[in-house]
Each structure stands twice: as C-alpha cells, then as structure tokens.
Amino acid sequence: MKLSYQLPKRFSLLKSFSITYLLFAFLVRFVLYVLAFSYVDFSLLNLVETFVIGLFFDLGSLSYIIALYALYLLLMPTKFHGSRFDKILTKFAYGFFLFFLTFSFLAEIPFWDEYQRRFNFIAVDYLLYTYEVIENIHQSFPLPLLIGVIVIITFISIKITKKKGKYLQTFKAKDTFVSKLIPAIFIFLVLAVFHFKIKNTQAEIFTTISENELAKNGIYSFFAAYQSNELNYHDFYSSTNSTQAIKTIRNLVKAPNDSLLNNTIYRFVKNEGIEQKPNVIFIGLESVSASFLQRFGNEKKLLPAIDSLAKKSILFTNLYATGTRTIRGLEAISLSVPPTPGRSIVKRPNNQNLFTIGKIFEQKGYTRTFFYGGDGHFDNLTNYFSFNGFDIVDRKKPHRIAEKIPTKRTRIEDDEVTFENAWAVCDADLYNKLLKTADEQFKTGVPFFNFIMTSSNHKPYTYPDGVIDIPSGTNRTGALKYSNKAFADFFAKAKTKPWFANTIFVIVSDHCAYSAGRTEINVKNHHIPAFIFNVKDEMPAEINKLSSQIDVFPTLFGYLNWSYKTNLFGKDINKMQPKDERAFIGNHRKVGLLKPTKLLILETQKKHRYYKYDVVKNELTETKTDAVFLKETISYYQTAYELFKNGGLKVKE
C-alpha cells in the first residue's frame, strides 16, 4: 500500500514563502561563494558540504520566521478562511516579510565584501546605532535606487505567487484543524531543535574561516551574535603572539614597587604610609563632557557647582573615557580594563566573580553598594554588580521583586520619588536615597563604598518642573543645569552629615555627550571631567598627565596608602612617568591607544591607522606607523580580550 501526504491547501502561501526564502538563501550563498572563492579550500566535497550545511541552517532560520504564521493558520477556524481580516493580515504580512528578507539578503553582499563574514556583532551594532547605519547607506548607495530594487524584487515575487494561485488556495481552503496539525507540528519541532540544541558555531567544520561562514545563515548568525554579545578579537583585529603580548603588558602595568604574582597581570601593589579607611562615594556623571565645564573653556556656566567642587579637589585635567556609552564607562571604572571588542563586559555572559575595584574594597573591609535610579535590569546592571559583590539599590519594577541575586537588593520606593521618566528617577531623588542609605551605613561603624550612576542628563531631558529656569524636556542645557542643581543640593545636605568629614568623593563622567554613533574617533569627544574631593591632608591640585578612566581608582588607592593584590590594568596616575602616559578610546568597533602626540587605531579587517595628534587643534594627521607603538596597542587590547575570555580577569583564590 503506497503512503502519500498532501500539504493542506491552507499552507500553500506559507509553502511558497518558504521556497522563495530558501531560493534567495541559496542564491546569496552562491554569490558569496564566488566572492570568497580565492579564500576557500576548494574541493567538490567541501562545496557540497558547504551548501548542505547551509541548507540545514537556512531551514532553522526559516522556522523562526514562519512559526508564528503557522500557529495562526492552525488556530484560525475554517469558517474564517478568506475573511476580510484573514486577507488583509496575510497579504500585509507576506509583503512585509518579503521586503524585509529581500533587504536582509541584499545587505549580506556588501557586508561580506567589507568584512568577509556573515552578519555578526558588527551588524548588531549597525542596528543599535542608527546614525551610523543611515550615514553609511547615504554615503555609499543612492537610496532611491536601493529601495527601488528591493520593491521591484518584492513585487515580482508576489506576482509570481499570485499567478500560481497560492493566495487563492490559502483563502479558499477548507482544511480542518487535524489536517493542519501535521505541518504545524513539524515546523514547531524544527524550531524547538534549533532553539535548544543547535548553535551557530556548529557550522564551523572547515579549515578555512570563509567556508565556515558560508555554511551559516546570515539572519541566524545575526541573532546568534546578538545573543553572544562579542566580537572575536583574533578574527577581526591585528594580533601577535599571546605570550609576547602578556609579557609586554606585564611590564607596562607594573609600578616600581609592585610584585608580579603569576604569569598574567596579577600583582601586589605596595604603597608606603599608614593606610586610611574613609568612606568612599563614587558619583558617575551621565554624559558630561569636559567641554561643559568652565575650567575647560565653557563660558555658559552650565555646571557651576561641579566646577566649584573641582577647584577644591584633585582634578585630572587630561583624562579620557574609554567609550561612548554608560556601560562602557562603568566597565572601565569598575573593572579597570581597556575596552574589549564588541559589547561591554557589563552585558557579556560569564562576567561574574570578576576582579573589580569592589574586590579591593572588600579586602579592606568595606561594604559595597551600587545605586541606580532606574530598574537595574536595564543593560544587565543588576546582574553585573550583584554577581561581583555589590548590594543593589535601584528602582526595580514590581514584577521583578522576586528575582534572585546573590546580594541584597533595595527598592527606591514610590514615596521616595518626586519625579521619574522612562529611564530613571530624577537625580535629586537618587541622591536623597544615597543620603538615607549612607546614614544607615554609618551607624554600623563599617566603612562603606557607594557607587552611584546618575541619569537626568539624558534624553528626553526631563526633570521636576520649577527647579531651574528652563522647562523640563526642552534640551540638554536644561538637563545639565538640573543635574548641577541636584549635585549642589546633595553636597549641601551631605556636609551636614556626621560621616561627611571622613568621606572621599570620586566624581567621573561615564562618557561625553556627543561621542556616540559616529564612524571615526574624535579624541576631544572622549575628554571627561574627573576629580577626587576631600582626601585627608591633600591640598587641591591639578594633575595634567594623560590618563584613562581605568586609572581613577588605582590612583585613589595610592592616596589612601593601600597595599593590595590586584588584577586591574589601571595604574596610579601619580606614579606614571611621561613614557607611561596613555589613554584608551574606542567607538563600538574601532579601539585606539592615545599618547600625548600620537594615536593608533585598530580597525576590523585586521587594519590599523597611525596618526600624529595635535591636542590644541584636535587634529589627526595620518602618518607612517610606529612599529613599537603598534605592538603596544595590539598587546593591550589582545591581552584584555584573552584574559576575559580565558577567565584571567576572575578573582584569584
């Protein structure tokens, strides 16, 4: 007896879409294979394997796309097949997804031409930083022509589908629920297998990178990259022998009195003098550029309270942010590490039990608390700080109250909030929560380290009405003035507290205001304010050495005469010789090492650019590469990447 199965007519359009998708995927893979032919290890067997594995991943990617529609087809009662709602929804969805897929497939070709890879974390960055995408497309392609080609391909595909009667079959079908169940279950099973069992890296069975990439599916790779949150340093950046790289960095991070404790950067820092153990409060200033301060030439008096306190402090006049986002700044300050490729370590998997500045405070007997005015679930802040030893104070959402973390979590309650927007409570409310918590901590007699990240100087620039002379939500100038007012009020209140005299305040911006989303690195747009206030027996001073966010807390530990074991890349700025001065700067894919008169930038495709830098004019002049400087730059970034990946930044037992 011959068995046969006929797909329900209700699934005719879904079948047509699936065949179109697989055909497009095959054609794109073929085009990419031709473009990469000189880089593949060609053989007939390899060719067949590449396309067979590719088809396997294409089917998996397709299952994600069609699963929801398959569920719709399954659950829609027969009597509603071909109804007005059914026709409108189906035709819109079919056209939309054809347009989207056509765009995605066409986008893979120039992406491959530039990076020789399927979609990866760079593509994720393109999605997250829309300015870069729009500018790049605008400068590279005539937009009307590009959109026109996509529309034409979509239109032709729809016409062919209509001509074959797939729409008619779908809407006229009288299939029962049972008959529709078999194809739906098959699609759901494929989806489940790929979601729970298949990893993108399983396509990598070849000896060449190009063949491994060709066997993948671009859309599937995109979401895999989004989930993994990283860019493989060795695939995209110039590299050197790992042993030599770590040897170079060991010599660079070690101060004269330090003792290296193993074959990485783990070392014992020796400082002379009696150790001091004051309370320490770190205030992260959201999006405050150095250029906003009067000290650095701004005549608008936007931040008079911050300017005034900086004059009474140890001010670092030549200090630079490592990146262009808050999580990159928090990474640099808390972990004291150069920026690694891809997303900040704050959002990466396996970022628990790292050797942060909190571990040094723990060595000295401090409590550690992270304060944030929004829900710390955002940008993975709660997990990062709590799984690295910090208690959490934030505006956690009620439905997340039951979430389990290894440390104490306290909510900023409704009656403690006078104003909040989509991001967070206003700075004044956050500062008030800090004051209240510090009062409670002081009663215990245990020194505290409180790490606070402000939020008000951020779009939509909203804050309580009537506090300053610019209406809420107007512009950044208003947000800066409000942030300054909240800062001033906080210190006025703090000075009345019994713990104030024995508390040091570290104030550093997370990044500049106008540095995100651009293609090229603008050095000036990484220059940030940073100062330490209320250090015992230290007069106000300005330190002009070129330095980085990663150096702030090692410098504080020097002022406190602390001797400690450390796994941090940062150095005590006061111990830096002229040859030691440097800063790390990057913007998503490009990372650079800055010295007083030069800058070297590492780019994807294992390229680099070397510039002479005029700090007065903020001008870069490309010139012949300095081989020694190139080696140093590569060593810093390669070692930071490898230590994180290999667990070298974890706490040492």
Q: Is residue 234 a part of any domain in this protein?
A: no
278: three-class secondary structure by DSSP: coil
75-89 average pLDDT score: 89
Q: What's the rounded Cα separation, in Å, for the pair 487 and 305? A: 7
Checking if the pLDDT of 139 tops 60, the result is: no
Please report, for residues 42, 294, 457, 482, the alpha-carbon distance to residue 477 in angstroms, rounded to integers and kept in the order given: 60, 14, 9, 9
Query: Coil, strand or helix: which one is 456?
Result: coil
Residues 171 and 290 in one domain: no
Same domain flag for 255 and 202: no
Instruction: Determine whether 285 is exposed, middle or buried from the number of CB atoms within 10 Å of its CB (0-12, 13-18, 19+).
Output: buried
Residues 471 and 333 in one domain: yes
- Tell me, yes or no, whether 195 and 72 share the same domain: yes
If DSSP codes are grouped into helix, strand and coil, which group holds residue 298? coil
Instruction: Determine the average pLDDT of the residues in 629-651.
Output: 96
Q: Model confidence at 653, in pLDDT bands (50, 70, 90)? A: low
* Same domain assignment for residues 69 and 93: yes
Residue 151 lies in a domain: yes
What average pLDDT does range 368-379 have in this prediction?
92
CATH of the domain at 277: 3.40.720.10
Q: Do 412 and 511 sit in the same domain of this protein?
A: yes
Residue 486 lies in a domain: yes
Would residue 56 count as lying in a domain? yes
Enumerate residues 6+ apart whose C-beta is below 8 A from 426. Answer: 373, 418, 419, 420, 456, 463, 464, 482, 486
84: pLDDT strictly greater than 80: yes
pLDDT, mean of residues 156-168: 78
CB 20 within 8 A of CB 154: no
Query: Tokens 């019994």 identify what position?
Result: 498
Read off φ and ψ for residue 442, nearest 5 degrees.
-60, -35
**Cα separation values, 512 from 289, 479, 574, Å:** 4, 14, 24
Lowest mean pLDDT among 304-308, 524-528, 601-605: 601-605
Residues 278 and 323 in one domain: yes
Orientation of helix 427-444 relative to helix 476-494, angle to 10°: 20
Residue 1 within a domain? no
Cα 508 from Cα 107, distance rounded (Å): 40
Q: Does one domain contain both 167 and 65? A: yes
Residue 417 lies in a domain: yes
Is the confidence at residue 148, as pLDDT, over 90?
no
**193 or 145, which is more confident:** 193
Q: Say yes or no to pLDDT of 142 above 80.
A: no
Give the count of domains, the chain: 2
Alpha-carbon distance 211 to 572, whole Å? Answer: 47
- Which residue has tokens 């250029």? 291
Closest CA to 506 of 449, 425, 544, 558: 449
User: What would the DSSP string read from start to end of 146-187?
Assistant: HHHHHHHHHHHHHHHHHHTTHHHHHHH----HHHHHHHHHHH
Alpha-carbon distance 117 to 534, whole Å?
52
Distances in Å between the Cα of 501 and the Cα atoms of 8, 261, 446 are 79, 37, 15
The DSSP symbol for 250 reads: H
How confident is the model at residue 224, as a pLDDT? 78
Out of 228, 253, 275, pick the residue that ends a domain: 228
Q: Classify residue 558: in a domain, yes or no.
A: yes
User: Do residues 219 and 280 share a domain?
Assistant: no
Q: Please check the confidence at residue 618 and state whether its pLDDT lies above 60.
A: yes
Give the burial string for 30-51 (b: 16+ CB within 10 Å, else e): eebbeebeeebeeeeebeeebb
Give me the helix-helix angle, 121-128 and 218-228, nearest 10°: 80
Sheet with 259-260: strands ordered across: 259-260, 267-269, 564-566
The closest of 427, 384, 392, 426 to 283, measured between CA atoms, is 427
Q: Are residues 205 and 298 in the same domain?
A: no
Q: Has residue 652 been placed in a domain?
A: no
pLDDT higher than threshold 50 for residue 484? yes
What is the reported pLDDT for 438?
Answer: 98
Mean pLDDT of 500-506: 98
Contact 217, 58 (CB under 8 A): yes
Say yes or no: 599 and 528 in one domain. Answer: yes
Better-scored residue on pLDDT, 123 or 485: 485
| Digit-coded pLDDT (tens) for 219-260 | 888 877 766 666 789 888 999 999 999 999 999 999 988 999
Smallest CA-to-CA distance from 364 within 552, 562, 532, 537 is with 562
pLDDT computed for residue 338 by the predictor: 97
Chain Cα centroid distance, residue 504: 30
The number of angstroms, rounded, from the C-alpha of 573 to the middle of its chain's C-alpha atoms is 27
pLDDT confidence of residue 131: 42
349 cis-preceded (ω within 30 degrees of 0): no
Average pLDDT over the chain, rounded to an integer: 90
pTM recorded for the entire structure = 0.77
pLDDT in tens, 167-220: 778 888 888 888 899 999 999 999 999 989 898 888 888 888 888 899 998 888
CA within 13 Å, CB half, 616:
0
| Domain stop point among 198, 228, 258 | 228
Q: Which pLDDT does position 602 carry in this prediction?
A: 95
pLDDT digits over 85-130, tens only?
988 888 888 888 888 888 888 888 877 876 678 887 666 656 654 4
Helices and strands counted in the chain (H then E) = 20, 19
Task: Check whether residue 148 and residue 259 sit in a common domain.
Answer: no
Q: Residue 40 and residue 206: Cα distance in Å, rounded?
A: 9
How far apart are alpha carbons 467 and 570 in whole angstroms? 39
Question: Residue holding tokens 């073929």?
Answer: 30
What would the pLDDT profile of 260-298 be if each residue is shown by its tens digit? 999 999 999 999 999 999 999 999 999 999 999 999 999
Domain of residue 439: give its range: 242-645
Q: What's the chain's length in residues?
A: 653
* Token reading at 25: 């995927």
584, β-bridge pairs: 593
- The residue that leads in pLDDT, 317 or 514, is 317
pLDDT for 128 equals 54
Residue 360 contacts residue 555 (beta carbons within 8 Å)? no
